[in-house]
Each structure stands twice: as structure tokens, then as C-alpha cells.
Structure 1
Amino acid sequence: MVSWALLAIGVVLLLFGAYASWTAGRLDRLHHRVDLARASLETELARRSALVGELGGSGMLDPASSLLLLDAAHRARTASPEEREQRESALTRAIHATGTDVEPWTAELNLAMRRVQLARRFHNDIVVSTRELRRRRLVSWFRLAGHAPMPTTIELEDGS
């Protein structure tokens, strides 16, 4: 009878260990996906900023609009991580405030804006999934997240 009890306890511990290991691996993969999504968003924001800078310097807009776009694009590119969301939101507002419907640039700028929207949504979806998993009791009690910081969503005006 004792051997069956020990066997049952061993099986339960083995199953628990397998589940904890699977959860830790899933959490690690989600953290990696957050990093990749963040890098993708950074790339799209840089691409949009460069495109707006090119449009502002092209001479196709009035001087005030060009100056506004160039300043907003420069501030977005050189912003510290703490003020990055504010600067990118200001760039979005500057794009909408100026007449950027210049024919060779319209389609490219709209595509860049859409790609930023999609990259931000993708990033935030992965962050929400990661945070939900990290809030589970098993993860917090056994510290399966290790020392990884809690990921945060990116909240900026992106035209959506």
C-alpha cells in the first residue's frame, strides 16, 4: 500500500514539474516575442520618422509645414526612452495637422502609418498575453519568470 502511495506522489510531482517546466518555457518564449515585437515597432517608428523627415525636407510642402514635420521627426528620433511615446504621438499629430497629401508621398506615408499601427497592436497583444501568464499563481509562487522585467504596453497616438 505504501509503495502505491509513493508511486502516486511521484507521478503527481513529475506531472507538476513537467507543467511548471512547460509554463516556464512558454513564458520565456513570450518574453522573447515581446523583445522581437518591440524591435519591430522601433524599426517601423524609425522608418516613419525618416520618411516624414524626407517629406519635410523635399520642398513640396509650405515652409511652416516642413518645419513642423522636420522638428517633430527629429524630436521623435532623438527622444530618450522615457519621452519616446510622447514624441511619437507628437509626430503623429504633426502629420495629421499638416497637409501631407502630396501625391508621390501619400501612399508611402499611409503605408508607414499603417505599419506602425500594426506593429504597436502586435506588440501590445503579446505584452497582454505575457502579463496574463505572469499573473498566474504558479508563475509568481515559483518565480518562473526569473528576473525578467514585467513588459509594458506602448501607448501612443498612431492614427488608429
Structure 2
Amino acid sequence: MIPLWALLLVIVLAVAALLGLWLSLTASRLNRLHIRTDAARLSLEGALQARSAVVSAIHPDLVRAAGRTTAVALKASDMDARSDAENMLLRQLRDEDVTNPAFVEASVKVDIAARFYNDAVGDTRDLRKRPVVRAFRLAGSAPLPAFYEAMSLGDGTV
């Protein structure tokens, strides 16, 4: 006959092992979400730079403004500075600029990249809100990603 204390020890160790495995899998998923968010942010930054280059090409007076806009860093935890700069640049465009096919194409790419980025941010933030993730500090020191919100070509928002 197995002593009761040995049986309880086996059960406690099994529960601890399962909890550890679950926490490890959750931390790995969170890490993959952060990687996805970073990749989407880099894609968004590339689309924004391409649109700024198009703005510079179709509206030579805005070359300096476009340069200042792309000089603002697109930080995962602070998207407001870049989105404000992008919005200021877009407000300076004329009606004929925004109907330029090259600008329309570049803006559509920005809108798509922003949607992918915001989806990744939403998934990451949803997982990070869970009490277990916060209690065990599974996010480590990674900054909480912020949503990107800027004017869109069509409806005024992304």
C-alpha cells in the first residue's frame, strides 16, 4: 500500500508540472504575439515611409514636411507622435494630391498595414490583460503595444 503522503506528493507534483507547462505555453504564445506585433509595426513603418516618398514626389513643396514626418520614430508603446505627424502631413495635401493614383495606392497599403498592426496589438493586449499573465509577469519587460490611429484616405480614421 502506498502511503497517503506519497500519493499527495505525486498529485501536487503533477499539478505543479501541468501548471508550469501551461504557463510556459502561455508565455511562448505571448512572445509570438509580440513578435507578430513588431513585424506588423515594421511593415506599417515601411508603408508610411513609402507614402511619404509619394507625397514628396507629387507635391515638392512638402518634401521637408514629409522628411520630418518620417523622422518621427514609430515606437510600439507610443504611436501618437507618429500618427499626429502623419495627420499633419495629410492635412497639407490638396484635393488633386489625394486623388493621385500613386498616392491612393500608397494610402491603401498604409491602411492595410495599419489594420494588420492593430489586429496584432489587439490580440497581444487581450492576452496581456489576463490575470494569470499579469500575476506571473509573463510579459516580462516588453512594453504594452499601442494602437495606431491616423487619418485614412476614405473615412477619416484607420
TM range, smaller chain: 0.7 to 0.9
Q: Which amino acid aligns with 1:84?
A: R
**What's the C-alpha RMSD, in Å, of the aligned pairs?**
2.0
Q: Does the residue aligned with 1:7 lie in a helix, a strand or coil? A: helix
2:95 is aligned, of 87, 94, 98, to 98
SS at match of 1:99: helix
TM-score of the pair, normalised by structure 2: 0.82
Distance 1:36 1:80, change over 3 A: closer
Tell me the TM-score normalized by structure 1.
Answer: 0.81
1:74 equivalent in structure 2: 67
Deviations 1:55-98 (A, max 9, x none): 113xxxxxxxxx3x445423322336563211101222333x33
**By how many angstroms is 1:8 displaced?**
1.6
Query: Which blocks of at least 5 consecutive residues in structure 1 are unaligned?
Result: 58-66
Give, in angstroms, the shift of residue 2 of structure 1. Answer: 2.7
- Return the alpha-carbon distance in structure 2 between the equivalents of residues 83 and 144 of structure 1: 28
Contact 1:89 1:158 in 2 (8 A): no
- C-alpha offsets along residues 6-62 of structure 1, whole Å, 9 cap, x if unaligned? 2221111111100000000011111111111111111000000001101113xxxxx
**3-state DSSP class of the match of 2:97?**
coil
Letter in 1 for 2:16: L
Aligned equivalents of 1:98, 1:71: Cα separation in 2: 20
User: 1:89 is matched with which residue?
Assistant: 87
Q: CA deviation at 1:151?
A: 0.9
| Partner of residue 9, structure 1 | 12
> Do 1:117 and 1:158's aligned partners in 2 also have CA atoms closer than 8 Å?
yes
Equivalent position of 2:53 in the other structure: 50
Percentage of matched positions with identical amino acids: 38
The alignment of Structure 1 onto Structure 2 pairs a total of residues equal to 146
SS for the counterpart of 1:32 is helix
Aligned counterparts of 1:145 and 1:32: Cα–Cα separation in 2 = 12
Structure 1 distance, partners of 2:98, 2:86, is: 20
1:6-155 equivalences in 2 (<5 Å) = 6-57=9-60, 67=61, 69-79=62-72, 83-95=81-93, 97-100=94-97, 106-155=100-149
Counterpart Cα distance in 2 of 1:52 and 1:10: 62
